[in-house]
Amino acid sequence: LQETFDAGLKLLPRSSVAQLVRLALRATAAAAMRAFGPEGVKAYNLYAVEKLATNVAVIERFASRWGVASLADELAEPNQLCRLLLSSKLEDILDPQLRRQRYPALELPVVAAALDKYRELPQQAKRQPGWPAKKAVDAVAKQLRAQLASGTAGMRPQDDA
């Protein structure tokens, strides 16, 4: 990315390159989120989420070097999904106020779909005691789908106000 955008700076005005960087980050975030969707991976474990979180952090650092306001915000959705999945309080997504505070970029149907694809690894509880068990993930997914079906959860957290 760096080489591409450096070359762009030589050929294009800075504002055009900034827009190009923004669009590239937006496309990168969308690709990461598609991995959790119907056409994405069949299943994942939290080691994959850790790797994705690391990659998103690297891209965020790259974005911060460009000095363009709110550029890293383009990665908010995959960043927040990784934070949620790696948190020890997965059930926070069920609370509208906590969703608005901690996960404002997440669309709830996407979260529910991601939770459905989670697979626990054998011996995971011993190696990573803070990670949720499949049973807990399924319970949160079931409650989230119930909220979506009953209309008590908005499509985006800010809709719950």
118 beta partners = 44
- Residue-wise pLDDT for 47-106, tens only, equals 899 999 999 999 999 888 887 888 889 999 999 999 999 988 899 999 999 999 999 999
More confident site: 123 or 137? 137
More confident site: 20 or 128? 20
Write out 29-77 in H/E/C secondary structure. Answer: HHHHHHCCCCCCCCCECHHHHHHHHHHHHHHHHHHHCCCCCCHHHHHHH
CA 11 – CA 46 distance, rounded (Å): 42
- Average pLDDT (7-30) is 88
Residue 38 predicted with pLDDT over 60:
yes
Q: Alpha-carbon Rg of the chain, whole angstroms? A: 17
Residue 159 predicted with pLDDT over 60:
no
Cβ-based neighbour number of residue 32 at 10 Å: 20
Residue 6 predicted with pLDDT over 90:
no
- Average pLDDT (112-138) is 77
Q: Give residue 123's pLDDT.
A: 64
The pTM of the full predicted model, rounded to 2 decimals, is: 0.84
Average pLDDT, the chain: 86
Contact 25, 71 (CB under 8 A): yes
Residue 160 predicted with pLDDT over 50:
no
